[in-house]
Amino acid sequence: MAIRLTLVFILLVSIRCLAATCPNITATYLCRVCTEGPPFRYRLSCNYGSADGATMADITSLVRRESSAENFTGLLFHGFQDRALTPEVFAGFTSLDRLEIAFSEVEYMEADTFGSLPNFHNLVIHNNDKLKWLSGESFNGLNSLESLELERNAIEHLREDMEPFFRRISNSIRLREPLQCDCHLLWLVDFIATQSTISVTHDVDCISNSATDFSQCLDPCELGYHPCNVDAACTIVNRTQPVCTCKPCYTGDGTACSKTLCPSGNMECRPLTGRCECGEDFSASAGDDPCTRIVSGVFTNLTRDCSGVEPEDVERLSDCAEMLSQVATHHLTMPAEIPRVIDLLQDMVASLSQEEAHPPSFNISQNLVEAASELLKEGNLVLWQNATTDSTRDAVAIFSAMNDLGALLLTRTNITNITTDNIAMVLVRPNCQSEQSIPEFDGYDISSDLLGEAPAAGSESTLSLPSSLFSDVFANGSVADCSEVGVVSLVYGGIGPLLSLNEEELLTSIGCGPNTTRDTDEICPWYGEPPVICPTEWQLNSVVISATVINSSKAISTQLSSPVTISLSHQDPSLSSPICAFIDESLPLQSTDSWLTENCERDVGASTDTTTVCNCYHLTSFALVMSRSSSPPENRPLSIATKVGLSLSILCLCATVILLFGLKLKNKTLHQVHRQLALALGLSQLVFLVGVDRSAVPSPDQLCTAWAALLHYLLLATFLWQLCEGVHLYLLIGRVFGNFERVQYIYAVIAWGLPLLIVGPTLGLKFCDYGSTNYCWITPDGDAIWAFHGPVIGVLLVSIYIALGSVCLVSECVSDQCGGVGVCRDCHCEAEYEKRGKCLSLHYSDSCIGGAGPNPGSYVGPGVPGGRGRSLRHRGRVAVLCLYHAPGSRHLLCSLRHQQRGSIRLPAHHGL
């Protein structure tokens, strides 16, 4: 009976649903609309999407267009393909009471998804196998929910912000999900344990088990519990909250990201910076197009077609090698194409060196060497100079690629040599017929004649390998396979201008460097060394010849017992100071501007004016480094001006000394200071002119030391006599009527004696700092130089102090107190003058007494009877003093002292 009643009920409900009318929805989508409750209330049920891939958003949008969404109280969606639920899906369904979502592709729900459903009471979400996490933000504004069912989804993570939403549910919660029991689920444990108003049903075992360890915290970003787009990055904030941010070169909110569009088709967005920059084949410019092409289209195509060629693809490797040679020969037009060819060259050699690659044919090898040779043509030098990359690094990259190719050809082919205009490769193999553990070798000579552009007769360069080469290399072990042993030798022409030189290291190698040290039994390191004239403007002046021993495709380096002889012809006969140098290719490419000279010696006897012979005890790349200038550049006008000026100065100082000693001058102390100052200055200049430059006037070592100490002494004496002169002038201003006859002896003791106290101990403590191989003066980087700098600085400071004191003293003694008429007062009587209120003025032209003015020797002043025109002799209660400093220049100081009696009295030692 119960079964019959149930079937009748289902039949009635079905008839009621079929009677409902919503033709547009039912016709377009596989949906049913059932009428329920009050009139015009409907329940919409859609199953498994539609034939044309409709989504839940399409269904609800059609409902809003074709009927009133507010009339629907229930929605059921099964099997739809929506990846996300958004607030727009349910907008307008204000009467919605129940929502069921099942068997869909939903992965996440956006914030406020259900915020527009004020009368929403029942939510059922089940069997959505891509829904792995839920956030409380999705349920913001949902305050009327009575029941929540989460069953058989894939939910592993419930964020902590779900707890406020759970506490707003008024009736029941049904939870059957595979939740991860980590620290982020502790809130749910507390919620279930503390709430008592609603029914909570769950099957999460870890919540029921009190022994569960919740200390582990899983990363929601790593587990995918976030809505981030594949082009977005996920980060955690507030410990559990994933935040999505689009990656560089993408724009969007993180859940949807689109690639950034650049303003020019020649630009591309760089992931490292997130900015649009010019592409690989372009550079920034200020024209209409922000990017200008820096390589031709030919290189663009070559790079696209030949980058990353598979080692097994022999045909493609052969074609690319031929194209590379043709492009390097005929299409080099821009500086940026130079490093592009080198990169492709290295890539192809690396592909050929793979074990799975076939042995390279002669044509492939010839084309690769030809491409490298074309880069070294003289016509391409301008391109090298204008390239933005380091020419030395690129040139050494050619060295490396050619050595690798040579090792490959030596061990896997029978090729013996490859010659081009600027690169010649010679593969030398030992005699492998004998059964000895070390291969037999009779020596070998490699010549620059192999180059396509052969040098003139008699100007070739050669490298001679000794017969003991393999005995030295394999002295500590035998050779496993003689067929994989040999020597790769290369001759490079035209590469010299591309290689930079470290001038400091070259100068050090010939004893000119600043840090050059020398083992010697002499008292000082520089004793016994001739003056060194350091060359300048270094450059390579020969071809570069290299030789490398190969064993099983690997280079072997060792010290040789017999030297490798390299005869290098000078390309520019005007250069001098040849140095046998080599470049260490094992160093990082950034260090290859340092040409070394260790274990390489110049054979002076075998060398000529046009050829230098070097003996080196190892194998690498060798060249001849020479200087354009055999002596440092000299500023000849300055040198002539210095010598002429010093000579004239010495002559004038000699005349000054003779005059000062011959004339009978009354101011003996001041002129005595002048005599001694002129004498010290003249002697110091004479010593400097005659012997300071040891390279110009050679001198024995001990004499150079003594000369340097003498120059030190005389210069200190000169500065001290200048100080004495300043002190004496200060005393003359401050003490007008003082007696300075004896002070001259104190000056002599200070100016001639104090330098002895400085130079003597310094010479004893720092003996070797006095003199060097080039100059007879104190070594600038030694400690003894401060025995000169220190006293000079002290003299200058004291002199400045005395000058400032003199200015202040004069300004105090002479002031404008008589209506613009100059006043001369005795500084020691200033208080007396001010007390009596007297102000005396003096009228003079060239002197105070006997001047040539209109009324010489007269004065006027308040309180003096007779007024203007009275003779000083008639009113002789004033003392007048005139001081003169140096012939031709007169410095006048008048001190007028009011006296009750007496007449003018001029001290004898202040006479004219």
pLDDT (tens digit, 9 = 90+) per residue, 379-415? 888 888 888 788 888 888 898 899 999 999 988 888 8
Binned at pLDDT 50, 70 and 90, residue 365 comes out as: very high
The predicted-structure confidence for 123-154, as pLDDT tens digits, reads as follows: 999 999 999 989 888 898 888 899 999 999 99
C-alpha dist (Å) from residue 134 to 145, 177, 198, 585, 836: 16, 12, 21, 61, 106
Note the pLDDT of residue 857.
39
What residue ranges do the domains of the chain occupy?
16-218, 416-633, 636-778, 814-912
Backbone CA torsion sign across 33, 35, 36, 41: positive
The predicted-structure confidence for 491-548, as pLDDT tens digits, reads as follows: 998 888 888 777 777 777 666 655 554 444 457 776 765 555 567 778 889 999 999 9
Q: Fill in the DSSP letter of residue 591.
A: G
Note the pLDDT of residue 443.
82
Note the pLDDT of residue 718.
93
Query: For residue 490, what is the enclosing H or E element?
Result: strand 485-492
What amino acid is encoded at 587 in this protein? Answer: L
At residue 42's C-alpha, the angle toward residues 41 and 48, to 5°, is: 165
Q: Is the pLDDT of residue 850 over 50?
A: no
Note the pLDDT of residue 313.
87
Q: Is the pLDDT of residue 852 over 50?
A: no
C-alpha dist (Å) from residue 827 to 24, 593, 734, 819, 862: 121, 73, 8, 20, 19
The number of residues making up the chain comes to 912
Note the pLDDT of residue 203.
82
Is-same-fold flag (416-633; 636-778)? no
Q: Is the pLDDT of residue 108 over 50?
A: yes
Higher-confidence position of 284 and 409: 409
In this structure, of 84-93, 245-254, 338-347, 623-632, the range with the lowest mean pLDDT score is 623-632
Note the pLDDT of residue 544.
92
Q: Under a CB-based contact definition with an 8 Å cutoff, are residues 171 and 199 in contact?
A: yes
Q: The domain at 636-778 falls in which architecture?
A: Up-down Bundle (1.20)
Using the CB atoms, write b or e for 684-715: b if 16+ within 10 Å.
bbbbbbebbbbeeeebebeebbbbbbbbbbbb
**At the top level of CATH, which class does the domain 416-633 belong to?**
mainly beta
Topology of the domain comprising 16-218: 3.80.10
Token pair of 678 as six digits: 């002129």
Mean local confidence (pLDDT), 453-470 = 78
The Cα 518–Cα 464 span in angstroms is 32
User: Dihedral through CA 290, CA 296, CA 302, CA 307, nearest 10?
Assistant: -40
User: Dihedral through CA 849, CA 850, CA 851, CA 852, nearest 10?
Assistant: 160
Give which of 752, 746, 778, 775 is closest to 765, Cα–Cα: 778
Note the pLDDT of residue 561.
87
| Helix/strand/coil for 557 | coil
Binned at pLDDT 50, 70 and 90, residue 862 comes out as: very low
The Cα 793–Cα 234 span in angstroms is 66
Binned at pLDDT 50, 70 and 90, residue 371 comes out as: very high
Global pTM value: 0.51
Report for 47-61, 262-276, 750-764: range of highest mean pLDDT: 750-764
Report for 236-250, 414-428, 821-835: range of highest mean pLDDT: 414-428
User: How many CA atoms, within 13 angstroms, populate the side-chain half-sphere of residue 232?
Assistant: 21
What amino acid is encoded at 481 in this protein? Answer: D
Note the pLDDT of residue 349.
92
